Amino acid sequence: MIKMNNTQALRQFQDDLKRQYDPKKKLVTICAGTGCRGYGCIKVKEELEAEIKKQNMDVEVRATGCFGFCEKGPLVIIHPEKIFYQQVKIKDVPDIISKTVAQGDVLEKLLYRDPQTNETVMKEEDVPFYKKQNRLVFGQNGLIDPTRIEDYLILGGYSALAKALSGMTPEGVISEVKKAGLRGRGGGGFLAGIKWEGSRRAHGEPKYVIGNGDEGDPGAYMDRSLMEGNPHSVIEGMIIGAYAIGASEGYIYVRNEYPLAVIHLTMAIESAREAGLLGRNILGADFSFDIKISKGGGAFVCGESSALFASIEGRAGEPRAKYVHAVEKGLWDKPTVLNNVETWANVPLIISKGADWYASIGTENSKGTKIFSLVGKINNTGLIEVPMGMTLREIIYGMGGGIPKGRKFKAVQTGGPSGGCIPESLLDLQVDFDRLYEVGSMMGSGGMIVMDDRSCMVDVAKYFLAFLQEESCGKCVPCREGVRRMREILEDICAGKGEEGDVELLEHISTGIADGSLCALGGSAPNPVLSTIKYFREEYDAHIRDHRCPAGVCKALITYSIDPEKCTGCGLCIKVCPTQAVSGEKKKAHTINNDLCTRCGACIESCKFDAINVK
Amino acid sequence: MVNMIIDGKNISAPKDTMLLAAIRGAGISVPTLCAHEAVSRSGSCRLCVVEIKKGNRSRIVTSCLYGVEEGLVVDTKSDRVLNVRRLVMELLLARCPESDVLQKMALEMGAEPQPRFVADTDKGKCILCRSCVRVCEEVVGVSAIGLFARGSQKTVGPPFHEQSDVCIGCGACVYVCPTGHIEMISTGEKRKIWGRRFKMQPCDKCGKFFAPVDQLKYISKKTGVPFEELSVCTDCR
């Protein structure tokens, strides 16, 4: 990689790359995000390369970042036709190469089949999962090999930085970001431009910018996929931010459990440095800035700004009171701007296309798009990027394809463990920062966990409280002791030992924790309990008063039985039952011995006739 | 000086002081457990919370960490404040049921043990206020004790809960502990603390054992005063 000493050289380099690029040339892209790697995509990629070599063809196979449609991985796209293949296996590779790549024949069996119309879809953009998305930030993931800076540059990468350095003052950049209305993607939703302005005005040297990649919400992985798949977009945003603020040093705080993200970020930083995009006199300008990676040990609380600073400084990751803001006294008590990595990745877009364009997307007070991770009881698990203001219904039933096995939707948990559970009656809610807050949840970093009628909301609240108890740093009394006591009460309720007045006690503890905790982890910890009490109070009452779990989840409160009308006596449940609780003769209705039954659910999963009743 | 309204009274306090000092300076009592004057503020006990109003917005802040501000309206006994304090006391009583300090404090605040909380039996009287850790680091300067693990698993003690090489047996941690959790047994020529025995130095003049030898050695090394000059007790000096 050559070092580029001015913006002209950058443009020249991009032009050269474009000139060498032949849009008609065959290219096979394969999703190599962590999810698809779990499906074995690397072996598929190797097989693709081997087959191409065997057939003596000149075709590039590019392992790119995450495509988002994790449910159907490994995912492969054949360019330039953009033929979208899903659930590709090694045995499919010879046909892909000899038929599709060589002759342009489409392999019907590898195409996505729309379960509603039962028709196959050839192109990615026509798959219902992708159709309504607006992948401004996430879209390049599927085109770029994240280990090659050239792939980012050919798509116009670092042009926003060049634009800022050559034609905009730092104040101009800040005013553009303010005008765009960009809000922090990590949870707080604070206006990024205001933060930047505060830091620019603050006294103290050096100033820092930090990318927060300490994503820790259960089921959320959009930050990981962004860092893995398009690390330069985060880096470019941070450089622009540093220029605007006057920062000379930056950190990306990423958890060590994201090894691929760490590798790709490290490579990206090195190649950006080689290219003159990081380091002294970036693109020849009177502006120097560099980025280091700080690897976190995986504590959820380290996503909180002051705990994150403590962790980078080498101290235990515990928050402190933030009465003096980080923009004035942050990392090592110096002015610091901390934004989520997704927030940073939005910045180049705003600078390139302008604040007016950006502000035209989204709702009144929440601009742009947001990446959500759609997980749980949903047909299409994956990452989606949609404009702010899309309804939950469109997300869950449109892109998400609804609930598996035709079951009934019950709730969606947004905002991670400190968010809230939103019921069916609010499915038409337009998702943005303010609407989610109004209904007792929050945007958080964009996790969406979908639950069906077989999810017990008391059990769900218990799960999240258990997570938070384990992740509480333990510094302040309300969070350390209070969350633990709430969990104990919830455990009692689920075990049939709930007492009259428990719900009111939970509310009392919640108010005290929310008001009295030192940081936002404690402050928002009661949300899963408060939101489930608000929308599913009757489930709490059923557990406490009737010793009944309506969803059939809490083991102490349920019994299994077999419906003799439905049971065909196939014997499958007898085979799968680990405790030999099921008995019966072949072709005659079976029975369950409840003294032996552990309510593990294996029989329910195995029964093809829906004959197991849970009460 | 900045002027504020605290519990309806006009109060002024020097700039750069913390709200807690200003409130107490005005003769208003605020309970605290972790704000020992010898150490920096950690804000961990949450008892000193107060409600502040700025314009139409009101919020709960930690008065030991919140600096005074001109025009601030402070309520030290609002419902929200008392609710937090009551919860903190209920939680601490369940954690340390044997602490007489906590029982007395709860009585004064009208808080009672919450019957729904099963009292702990393994926490002693430690409320994890971290005053001991701070005094060891900030005042004594040896950092012999620290905090381990996180959340409800958190404990305080020397590394790995083994005998510490750097502890000088000074007992400053015992002195600042608000609940009397830290055990220090002194029997004339010996002192035992944090699982380690220390040899005590007799006074050259009266013969009374007055300080651990390790402590005097540490002071001598730190100040340059010869050990012999330190081996006289404060009464005989």
What is the CATH class of A24-127? alpha beta
**CATH 3.10.20.740 domain residues, chain B:** 2-109
C-alpha atoms less than 13 angstroms from C-alpha of A103 in its C-beta half-sphere: 8
* Separation in Å, CA of B230 to nearest CA in chain A: 36
* Fold of domain A369-452: Ubiquitin-like (UB roll) (3.10.20)
Residue A513 · residue A474 · CB < 8 Å = no
A interface with B, Cβ–Cβ < 8 A, is: 299, 301, 316, 320-321, 323, 469-478, 480-482, 484-485, 488-489, 499, 501-502, 505, 508-509, 511-513, 515-518
This model of the complex carries an ipTM of 0.94
Residue type, A35: G
Q: Would residue A69 be called left, alpha or beta, if left means φ above 0 and alpha means ψ between -120 and 50 degrees?
A: beta
Residue B21, judged by CB atoms within 10 A of its CB (0-12, 13-18, 19+), counts as middle
Mutual angle of helices A341-353 and A159-167, in 10-degree steps: 60
List the B49-54 sheet strands across, edge first: B9-13, B2-6, B73-75, B49-54, B57-62
Q: Which two tokens stand for residue A173?
A: 């950049």
* Separation in Å, CA of A568 to nearest CA in chain B: 48
- Suggest the residue from A306, A475, A490 to mutate for an interface test with chain B (most B CBs closer than 10 A): A475
* Residue of A316, A477, A508 with shortest CB distance to B45: A477
Three-state DSSP state, B215: helix
CB of B34 less than 8 A from some CB of A = no
* Fold of domain A559-614: Alpha-Beta Plaits (3.30.70)
Q: What is the predicted pLDDT for the residue at A300? A: 92
Structural domain boundaries of chain A?
A: 24-127, 149-359, 369-452, 457-545, 559-614
Nearest chain B residue to A318 by CA distance is: B150
As a whole number of angstroms, the distance between CA A289 and CA A281 comes to: 8
Q: For tokens 């604040």, what's the residue?
A: A355
Residue A208 · residue A334 · CB < 8 Å = yes
Q: For tokens 């979208």, what's the residue?
A: A84
- Rounded to the nearest integer, the mean pLDDT of chain B is 95
How would you classify the pairing of strands A112-113 and A120-121?
antiparallel
Q: What is the CA radius of gyration of chain B?
A: 21
As a whole number of angstroms, the distance between CA A509 and CA A483 comes to: 8
* Separation in Å, CA of A317 to nearest CA in chain B: 10
As a whole number of angstroms, the distance between CA B93 and CA B137 comes to: 28
Say yes or no to pLDDT of A219 above 90. Answer: no
Nearest to A606 by CA among A570, A581, A557, A580: A570
- pLDDT tens profile A172-209: 999 999 999 999 998 889 999 999 999 999 999 999 99
> What are the chain B neighbours of A517 within 8 Å (beta carbons)?
46
Q: What is the predicted pLDDT for the residue at A379? A: 94
CB of B72 less than 8 A from some CB of A = no
Q: Would residue B141 be called left, alpha or beta, if left means φ above 0 and alpha means ψ between -120 and 50 degrees?
A: left
Q: What is the predicted pLDDT for the residue at B234? A: 86
Name the DSSP letter for residue A383: E
A7-A13-A19-A21 Cα dihedral, nearest 10 degrees: -120
Q: What is the predicted pLDDT for the residue at A405? A: 86
Say yes or no to pLDDT of A406 above 90. Answer: no
* Percent share of chain A, pLDDT over 90: 90
As a whole number of angstroms, the distance between CA B42 and CA A316 comes to: 14
As a whole number of angstroms, the distance between CA A478 and CA A522 comes to: 7
Terminal CA-to-CA distance of chain A, rounded, Å?
Answer: 66
Beta-carbon separation of A472 and B65 below 8 A = no
- pLDDT tens profile A29-73: 999 999 999 999 999 999 999 999 999 999 999 999 999 999 998
As a whole number of angstroms, the distance between CA A586 and CA A471 comes to: 50
Beta-carbon separation of A299 and B150 below 8 A = yes
Q: Residue A46: which H helix or E strand, with range?
A: helix A41-54
> What are the chain B neighbours of A322 within 8 Å (beta carbons)?
none
* Residue of A484, A515, A518 with shortest CB distance to B80: A515
Where does A378-468 show beta strands of DSSP type E?
Answer: 382-387, 409-414, 420-423, 447-452
Where does A457-545 sit in CATH, by number?
1.20.1440.230
Beta bridge partners of B54: B57
As a whole number of angstroms, the distance between CA A146 and CA A139 comes to: 13
Q: What is the predicted pLDDT for the residue at B237? A: 80
> What are the chain A neighbours of B95 within 8 Å (beta carbons)?
481
Nearest chain A residue to B59 by CA distance is: A515
Say yes or no to pLDDT of A286 above 90. Answer: yes
- Suggest the residue from B16, B84, B122 to mutate for an interface test with chain A (most A CBs closer than 10 A): B84
Residue A246 · residue A253 · CB < 8 Å = no
Residue A51 · residue A92 · CB < 8 Å = no
As a whole number of angstroms, the distance between CA A426 and CA A105 comes to: 45
As a whole number of angstroms, the distance between CA A608 and CA A586 comes to: 15
Total CB pairs under 8 A between chain A and B? 105
* Separation in Å, CA of A76 to nearest CA in chain B: 44
Least confident of A319-333, A343-357, A525-539: A319-333
As a whole number of angstroms, the distance between CA A179 and CA A182 comes to: 8
Residue B52 · residue B74 · CB < 8 Å = yes
Nearest to A96 by CA among A62, A48, A149: A48
Say yes or no to pLDDT of A517 above 90. Answer: yes
- pLDDT tens profile B4-51: 999 999 999 999 999 999 999 999 999 999 999 999 999 999 999 999
* Fold of domain B2-109: Ubiquitin-like (UB roll) (3.10.20)
Q: For tokens 């072949």, what's the residue?
A: A586
Q: What is the predicted pLDDT for the residue at A615? A: 84
pTM value > 0.90: yes
What is the CATH class of A149-359? alpha beta
Say yes or no to pLDDT of A388 above 90. Answer: yes
Residue A21, judged by CB atoms within 10 A of its CB (0-12, 13-18, 19+), counts as exposed
Q: What is the CA radius of gyration of chain A?
A: 26
Say yes or no to pLDDT of A121 above 90. Answer: yes
| Residue A321 burial (CB count, 10 A) | 17
